[in-house]
Amino acid sequence: MSPTWVQLAYLVAALCFVLALKGLSTPRYARLGNLVGAAGMALAVVTAYAHGAVHNGPLILLAVAAGAVVGVPAARSVKMTAIPQMVALFNGVGGAAAALVALVEFVEVDGSALFDVATVLTVLIGAVSFSGSVVTFLKLQEVMTTRPVLLPAGRFVGAGVALLGLALAPAVVATSSVPLLVALFAVGLALGVLFVLPVGGADVPIAISLLNAFTGLAVAASGYVLGNTLLIVAGTLVGASGTILTRLMAQAMGRPLANILFGAFTAARATAAGGEQRTVRSGTVEDVAILLGYAHSVLVVPGYGLAVAQAQHAVRELAQLLEKRGIRVDYGIHPVAGRMPGHMNVLLAEADVPYENLKELDDVNPGMGSVDVALVVGANDVVNPGARDDPASPIYGMPIFEVDHAKAVVFMKRSMRPGFAGVDNGLLYHPKTTLLFGDAKDSLTKLLTAVKQL
């Protein structure tokens, strides 16, 4: 039984984790929530170390120092656009750590059957989370294709590997065999890869959220293996919040989670229209400045291109200039815009955009017909009419901002390349659409100057 002061310290740490999740539920308190959660984790680590509940203390301190030396500079140097990749890697490392700790405990401790069950769950789920997170990192970093990857007989291979894991798990519990547990770890690694490969495009952030929930479950199970109640609490919180977030994101995509994860196996392949030539209308900065400067209402729809260009401050300055001219400016924030949930909220918060100006789909779409200009900055899939109109589209059913119903559309893009989902966007060819090619920050800066001269 731990001393009272240890239990109280763990209780305070657990309360910090709960308050952190509460803070992270809103952009206004997200930073504070992060700090509270970090403080709770620091308290938990110091308490465990001071209580003498750890072994090989010098090695642990060395590992902590090494992690700080690598992690702090890496985190500070990561651009906003690469944070989803960093989150994927950190999540994967957490799953791997839980699995490896459980493996070591299994070798050193002759535990009960329930201990063996918890170990099996930790190893299997942690391995899936690690390898799956690595694949999501490779997709987000575009080291590999972002499109769904379908192996020959992939569904049967995946089912076979899953059945092998289900067979090995009870065998490990029955025999307490270390080689079988190592084999289960290898099966988990393979299953994680096979699980994520068919997920592509805009669905990758949902896979990251689900894998985050897996890591939470692995950590909770490892808490039982180690006899640490705080790990059970922390892992359960992460698992529950990750599951809720995954469900909310799937709802935002307008598709069941099973379809998002496994739909590539059954989706019909869309074929491009042979030889069809479609024209686009491109405009100059001066053309767009006139559209914006004499509008009554403007809706800005930001996307990943805004993040890449680091153009959030430029778009905010343009919006402020338009507002001084009596023009109403709102921002349409899609739940899956960018590469992670809340990506656009964080970017615009950096530029001090008022929270009340951030509008969701249900706030904007009913009145889209009264919007004079929809300014799409680096977004693509979240304004693609094919998600609404084309049953053959891979993103069909995903709710979108129906900017094609606005009186005019200005689409700011670097090129005619499709978005992250790899799907052509019919909005580019719409007669209402004016394309403004170039880097978003540069184009917005020029627009700012041109509007001033009106």
> For 332-368, what is each residue's pLDDT tens digit?
998 778 777 677 887 888 888 888 888 988 899 999 9
What gap in Å lies between CA 130 and CA 10, rounded to an integer?
A: 27
Mean pLDDT of 129-145: 88
Spell 378-402 as b/e; 16+ CB within 10 A means b.
bbbbbbbbbbbebeebbbbebbbbb
Let me know: does 306 contact 412? Beta carbons within 8 Å.
Answer: no
Residue 445, amino acid: T
What are the DSSP calls for 190-249, one per residue? Answer: HHHHHHHTT--GGGHHHHHHHHHHHHHHHHHHHHHHHT-HHHHHHHHHHHHHHHHHHHHH
Mean pLDDT of 368-381: 92
* 3-state secondary structure (DSSP) of residue 55: coil
pLDDT at 58 (0 to 100): 80
Q: Which residue has the higher pLDDT, 384 or 423?
A: 384
Catalytic residue positions, numbered: 381
Write the pLDDT tens digit of every residue in 434-454: 999 988 899 999 999 999 988
Checking if the pLDDT of 319 tops 50, the result is: yes
Mean pLDDT of 127-136: 94
- Could you tell me which residues come within 8 angstroms of residue 211 by beta carbon, excluding any fewer than 6 positions away? 88, 91, 92, 95, 128, 129, 132, 133, 136, 192, 196
Picking from 45-54, 268-277, 423-432, which range would have the lowest pLDDT averaged per residue?
A: 268-277
What gap in Å lies between CA 24 and CA 330, rounded to an integer?
A: 23
CA distances from 84 to 53, 87, 204, 342 (A): 34, 5, 10, 11
Let me know: does 70 contact 45? Beta carbons within 8 Å.
Answer: no
The pLDDT-based confidence of 420 (bands split at 50, 70, 90) is: low
* Range picked from 44-48, 183-187, 237-241 for highest mean pLDDT: 183-187
pLDDT at 269 (0 to 100): 47
Checking if the pLDDT of 279 tops 60, the result is: yes
Residue 27, amino acid: P
Residue whose entry in the numeric block shows the structure tokens 């899936």 = 128
Query: Edge-to-edge strands of the sheet including 433-437?
Result: 358-359, 328-332, 297-302, 373-377, 409-413, 433-437
pLDDT at 376 (0 to 100): 94
Checking if the pLDDT of 97 tops 60, the result is: yes
Q: Which residue has the higher pLDDT, 133 or 86?
A: 133
pLDDT at 308 (0 to 100): 81
What gap in Å lies between CA 451 and CA 453, rounded to an integer?
A: 5
What are the DSSP calls for 303-319, one per residue? Answer: -HHHHHHT-HHHHHHHH
Picking from 2-11, 22-31, 218-227, which range would have the lowest pLDDT averaged per residue?
A: 22-31
Checking if the pLDDT of 12 tops 90, the result is: yes
Closest of 182, 208, 184, 181 to residue 195, by C-alpha: 208
Distance, C-alpha 110 to centroid of its chain: 39
The pLDDT-based confidence of 268 (bands split at 50, 70, 90) is: very low
Average pLDDT, whole number, for the chain? 86
Checking if the pLDDT of 371 tops 80, the result is: yes
What gap in Å lies between CA 88 and CA 211, rounded to an integer?
A: 9
What gap in Å lies between CA 401 and CA 427, rounded to an integer?
A: 11
Checking if the pLDDT of 16 tops 90, the result is: yes
Let me know: does 301 contact 377? Beta carbons within 8 Å.
Answer: yes
The pLDDT-based confidence of 263 (bands split at 50, 70, 90) is: low
What gap in Å lies between CA 135 and CA 133, rounded to an integer?
A: 5
* 3-state secondary structure (DSSP) of residue 335: coil
Provide the CB-side half-sphere exposure for 205 (13 A, CA).
23
Closest of 114, 396, 155 to residue 270, by C-alpha: 396
